[in-house]
Amino acid sequence: MKKKMMIMALAAIYVSTAQAQQTLTISVANPSAAARTDEAVVIPLDSYGEVRRALVTCDGKEIACQLDDLDQDEVYDELCFLVDLKAKQQQKYEVQLFNDDCDAPKQYPARVYAEMLMRNDKVKEKNKHNNFIEAITARGDCANSYNLQHHHGVDFESELNGIRIYFDKRQTIDLYGKFEKRLELQATQFYTMPDQKAQGYGDDVLWVGNTFGLGAFRGWDGQQPTMIEPVASRTQRIISYGPLRTIVEVEDKGWKAAQNRPAINMTIRYIQYAGHRDTDVEVYFTKKKLNVRDYRFSTGVINVKGSEEFSDKKGLRGCWGSDYPTGDSINSKRETVGLGILIPTQYMVSEQPANKDNYAFVVSTDNNILKYKITYTSDNERYGYHSAKDWFNYLKQWRKEVEQPVKVSVVKH
């Protein structure tokens, strides 16, 4: 009897300590006439003290969520969860926040993936390297930062896409095309082997050279884009591995972006949500007491060989075209892709005429922050788009959805 009473007492203590310290009701409304899937709800946590665990439910059913430490100070800054809403639907979600010392975020099935690797000289297969890292910094005088990492830089994916960012002065965004909706980069490491191709795995689908690729951020000298050089140092890091969104950053310190002006510090954050083919790009200029309002920058998409262009002349631009993804036209096939970029009007300076390399924009910012979105499709996709007409129609619809985000309101109990 005493043993039973002790167990009950311990259970009561556990239940009492497991009670949420704070409870929120989150109301999420879809303002559009189209259904939304995997819409991100992001709640800043700075008003709720130190949060160590969260539980999100809808009509009593638990849904996946994640906590993110954006500034890497070991305190979570944001809560994220994804919602599905019918046209014009409003739904309520209960969020419980816990801050007990023993609390830890619950693990949910991964729907995104991110990876940084150094080569392992003992591994011969290109898709089996295992020297995992989550940050690397190269000095500005590093002779060949491009080859420091396996697959040449950080990579990440959702079920619909796959991206790598070159670790050099280009910081180009290169693309992986899939056949099926699934996570693949852990298996292929951006170097798909013949047996994997036979199983329907995707591969690199874009030759980028010195172009923007898909939305690389660059300087602007008044006539053409400039590379991210010289710099004092450049860094890549993984901020969040998922399970619902992965966040990676590229940091450039001491970038001499313009002649006769001070060097700047810049952090580019890439956010990839599960269920999305588009990616958020957030650019932060972080040098104290320096406003970059008088600087000009550039971004855009590669002019894929023989591509057809789309532009609404209001910051939405894309193309549809085909080219070999590597210089090896014997062992690789021509790949057809659709690319897209959306620049909010407040950052627009000009849309440049297409040239042989790029469909470019000149951009600027008044407040040291600049945000835009990029998206793409591969014609290999069994779930995607297969003509310029369909792709350009998607871009128009994409803009409408971006400009009609779900509306979120928070009530604390």
- The residue that leads in pLDDT, 16 or 235, is 235
Amino acid 13: pLDDT: 42
Share of the chain above pLDDT 90, in %: 91
List of E strands, 99-172: 113-118, 131-133, 135-139, 155-157, 162-165
Q: Tell me the average pLDDT across 394-407.
A: 97
Cβ-Cβ contacts under 8 Å for 78 (sequence gap 6 or more): 42, 43, 44, 45, 67, 68, 70
Amino acid 329: pLDDT: 72
Contact predicate 321/306, CB 8 Å? yes
Confidence of residue 328 (pLDDT cuts 50, 70, 90): confident
How far, in Å, CA of 123 to CA of 317, rounded?
Answer: 42
- Which residues, in sequence order, are bridge partners of residue 118? 131, 149
Amino acid 9: pLDDT: 44
The whole-chain average pLDDT of the chain stands at 94
Confidence of residue 129 (pLDDT cuts 50, 70, 90): very high
Q: Tell me the average pLDDT across 118-141.
A: 96
Amino acid 19: pLDDT: 65
Confidence of residue 167 (pLDDT cuts 50, 70, 90): very high
Amino acid 102: pLDDT: 84
Q: Does 116 score more than 90 pLDDT?
A: yes
Q: Does 8 score more than 60 pLDDT?
A: no
Confidence of residue 18 (pLDDT cuts 50, 70, 90): low
Contact predicate 25/406, CB 8 Å? no
Q: Tell me the average pLDDT across 105-133.
A: 96
Q: Does 35 score more than 50 pLDDT?
A: yes
Sheet holding 155-157, edge to edge: 131-133, 113-118, 155-157, 162-165, 173-177, 203-204
Amino acid 326: pLDDT: 84
Amino acid 322: pLDDT: 97
